[in-house]
Amino acid sequence: MGEVNWRRLGGDGLEFFGRMTAGVTHELKNHLSTIKEQTGLISDLLALAARGRPLNGERLERLAEGIIRRVAQTDEVIRRLNYFAHGTDAGRQTADLGEIVWNIVTLSRRLASMKGVELEAAPVAAPVSVEGHPFFLGQMVFLCLERALVAAGSGGRVEVSVVEGEAWVECLFTGRLAGPITPESLEATVGPALKAWLGASLIGEPSGGLRLRLPRISPDL
């Protein structure tokens, strides 16, 4: 692939990686802040009990359960971030597009929440295999998702689903949208380098949704 294209891909890829990790670390910080607050309350209860006040076992149990939930949520975020980060060192391989989509959707929930948009990924019954670079596939999905969130607007809803054919696979972005997700609105953001690298096509839906069509084997021009 030409040097100019790689510079564009690399620069845009670094920006995408930075945005995703920054958003996730904010989410992790929020979880840790809540855990710190709950452990502080437990310490206060124990200190009061040491001074003779009866220990409120029910409240203590609720706080402990809250910490357990937060730890599980934090662990899941870290697992998703780990999956995302390993996409940069995986190189070209056969990957599950459904897993890539689900991971990007999961990592983008904070962004959707900030925009007041409900975000969901439709369940995929079986792996949807594609051959290419997981990181760049995820970047393409995210750029489409980001535009879908804008089209939905506050109070809207975006659902991302995966559809497969014999020679291609598709990510379908639909939902409760305030306006259409047009391919034209994505062209400048996506850029020709990434589209050519993946062999991607952007197709507008009559309903206002968007189809991201990808060959099962990325050309990697």
Beta carbons within 8 Å of 135's beta carbon, 6+ residues apart: 13, 17, 87, 88, 90
Q: What is the pLDDT of residue 190?
A: 84
Percent of the chain beyond pLDDT 90? 69
Give the tens place of pLDDT for each residue, 48-74.
999 989 888 899 999 999 999 999 999
**How many CB atoms sit inside 10 A of residue 90's CB?**
11
Query: Encoding tokens for residue 103?
Result: 């991971």
Q: What is the pLDDT of residue 74?
A: 94
